[in-house]
Amino acid sequence: RTYEEYTVDSNAKPILTGISIGDKVGKGVVRVITDVKKMKDFKRGEILVTKMTDPDWNAILTMSSAVITDEGGKTCHSAIISRELGIPCIVGTKDATQKLKTGDMVTVDCSSGQIGRILEGDVPFSVKEYNLEEMPEINTKITLNIGAPDTAFKASFLPSDGVGLAREEFIIAEKVRIHPMALIDYDNVELTKEEREIADDLTREYADKKEYFVNELAEGIAQIAAAFYPKKVIVRFSDFKTNEYRNLIGGRLFEGEESNPMLGFRGASRYIDKSFQPAFEMECKAIKRVREIFGLTNVCVMVPFCRTVEEGKQVVELIRKFGLNDDMPIYVMCEIPSNVILAEQFLEVFDGMSIGSNDLTQLTLGLDRDNGGLAHIGNENNEAVKELIRRVIRICKEKNKYCGICGQAPSDYPDFARKLAKSLNDNPQNRGLVLCGSGIGVDIVANRFGKVRCGLGFDKKQVYHGRAFDDINCLALPADFVNFNQAKKLVKIFLETKFSGQERHKRRLKKIEKISN
């Protein structure tokens, strides 16, 4: 189990900049594609340059060495999928499709922080690997987001407590490819000649076409669950929007056109609708197969975009009706303000909540999360969003219910992760770890909390003295001045060193506490 640290060996002026996704570096030949229908021109290992992507582009994304888009923010489709695939991605460049040409050789640098750089030519870079086996255990449970089953095995070697969000969308778009309702009455569905040929080829081995959907979905989920067994894997039921469902084979026959699909026929509202219930039943049967036939009982489910408590009750009733046992937990995404306002009532229906900070942010602030021009406003560090998240965490703790977070916030904002950890581990015996560029900013912020004694850590002796003499319970690391290996050693000393307990040190701490009060 290793962690890779990328460094670009050049100060060259970038051709373009944008929002950096991940922290890797990639290089290759540019392929500009503005129409997904021309994806056949794309060659494995090229760098995809396009305006924006949606699930139709997944096949190209899996072949790309890097991705560059004109539009989008940190939670757009390109960003989410690239992050899961582990490839560098720069979104929101505004005019990459105009400035870059097919055949250009470029280097995509996401190693330098929030701003990603596109550099001309084959720029040298270095990669350092660090052994994760030596990392100390922490009290906050860290789980992973997984979309593509093929990434699960590699991801399972990372230090984690399982999967907090396994998405069905990638499996359905890439493996199934056919709208579930088109499989219900397959022989009578009016597909085009091309659609019929593709669908017949995909489902050739299945007399019952519904069985094709159930089996393909079950196998994809099982691939993720088996990689992490016996750790918990929370599978979120499909959360395609109407426009995304239309892109599946036969989708145009079952999906209308909506002016704002993000706020339309999706999530729980879709599952309980009579027009979609047969498709939802197939999803439940796939989960049942994974748990009962494959024996992967570490799988449980989560309901996305549940607008009302009544919707929640109806969905849970359907899940049980379709054969999933009462002993399997059912969670709900907390991604709509109503989920927060009525959290106590939702928790009477569900076994816990997972905070979807991406949708919660856009719905709280009234933003389009795919609009790169509003990215500076639409982030989870906004005080209104954090207040909602604090409320949910508190209520889940009071109700003794599961609470997780599966949006982008913990990855982008270290102070956000610190506050989450503090809320979940409100225990004087615990230790905290915070970081930023210099370490000074988070050090100042952390010490504003009454029970926190935070010290800045640059070297081993300094950290030892901080623990032994000043009883610091939080270590602030300067990310721009210590590398991963140095940080690992500093954290080890911080966790293993005990307070001396000497009277002079106790007296000093009492004086400090008195001044603070």
- Pairing state between β 115-120 and 105-109: antiparallel
Active-site entry in 77, 89, 454, 474: 77
Whose tokens are 């056919």? That residue is 178
Contact 452, 432 (CB under 8 A): yes
120 and 245 inside one domain: no
Look up 406 and say whether it is catalytic.
Answer: yes
232 and 322 inside one domain: yes
389 and 458 inside one domain: no
Q: Which helix (H) or strand (E) holds 129?
A: strand 125-131
298 and 327 inside one domain: yes
Token digits for 406?
A: 């599966």
From 388, 421, 454, the end of a domain falls on 421
Q: How many residues are there in the chain?
A: 517
Domain containing residue 464: 432-516
Q: Which of 44, 47, 129 is nearest to 88 (CA)?
A: 47
Q: Would 171 be classed as within a structural domain?
A: yes
Look up 179 and say whether it is catalytic.
Answer: no
> What CATH number is associated with residue 384?
3.20.20.60
Q: Residues 384-439: pLDDT tens digits?
A: 998 999 999 999 999 999 999 886 655 555 555 455 445 435 655 667 777 665 67
Q: Would 384 be classed as within a structural domain?
A: yes
331 and 403 inside one domain: yes
> What CATH number is associated with residue 50?
3.50.30.10
Q: Would 229 be classed as within a structural domain?
A: yes
| Half-sphere exposure of residue 454: CA atoms within 13 angstroms, side-chain side | 23
What is the DSSP track for 362-407? HHHHT--TT-GGGTTTS-TTSHHHHHHHHHHHHHHHHTT-EEEE-S
- Region for residue 248 given its phi and psi (left: phi exceeds 0; alpha: psi -120 to 50; beta: otherwise): beta
Q: How would you label 130-160 residue by residue, b for 16+ Cβ within 10 Å and e otherwise?
A: beeeeeeebebeebbbbbbbebbeebbeeee
From 100, 131, 162, the end of a domain falls on 131
Per-residue pLDDT at 421: 47
360 and 465 inside one domain: no
Per-residue pLDDT at 424: 37
288 and 325 inside one domain: yes
* Structural domain count of the chain: 3
Per-residue pLDDT at 461: 87
416 and 446 inside one domain: no
DSSP state of 61: H
411 and 290 inside one domain: yes
**Could you tell me how far CA 228 lies from the centroid of its own chain?**
17
pLDDT in tens, the chain (517 residues): 677 888 887 788 899 999 888 889 999 999 999 998 888 899 999 999 999 998 889 889 999 999 999 998 877 889 888 888 889 999 999 999 999 999 999 999 998 777 899 999 999 999 988 776 666 666 667 889 998 888 887 788 777 899 999 999 999 998 999 999 999 999 999 999 999 999 999 999 999 999 999 999 999 999 999 989 999 999 999 999 999 999 999 999 999 999 889 899 999 999 999 999 999 999 999 999 999 999 999 999 999 999 999 999 999 999 999 999 888 999 999 999 999 999 999 999 999 999 998 899 999 998 876 666 666 666 777 889 989 999 999 999 999 999 998 866 555 555 554 554 454 356 556 677 776 656 776 666 667 666 678 888 888 888 998 898 888 888 888 866 676 667 888 888 998 898 888 888 888 888 877 766 5
186 and 231 inside one domain: yes
From 421, 441, 463, the end of a domain falls on 421
Q: Residues 30-71: pLDDT tens digits?
A: 999 999 888 889 999 999 999 999 888 988 999 999 999 999
The three-class DSSP label of residue 89 is strand
Per-residue pLDDT at 139: 65
Whose tokens are 């393909």? That residue is 216
Q: Would 147 be classed as within a structural domain?
A: no
Q: Would 146 be classed as within a structural domain?
A: no
The three-class DSSP label of residue 16 is strand
Q: Would 318 be classed as within a structural domain?
A: yes
Interatomic CA distance for residues 246 and 232, integer angstroms: 32
Interatomic CA distance for residues 389 and 422, integer angstroms: 13
pTM exceeding 0.75:
no
Q: Would 204 be classed as within a structural domain?
A: yes
Contact 107, 27 (CB under 8 A): yes
Q: Would 116 be classed as within a structural domain?
A: yes
Active-site entry in 334, 406, 436, 474: 406
Contact 448, 516 (CB under 8 A): no
Token digits for 290?
A: 């994974």
**Could you tell me how far CA 127 lies from the centroid of its own chain?**
24
Exposed, middle or buried by CB within 10 Å (0-12, 13-18, 19+), for 211? middle
Per-residue pLDDT at 346: 98
251 and 284 inside one domain: yes
7 and 26 inside one domain: yes
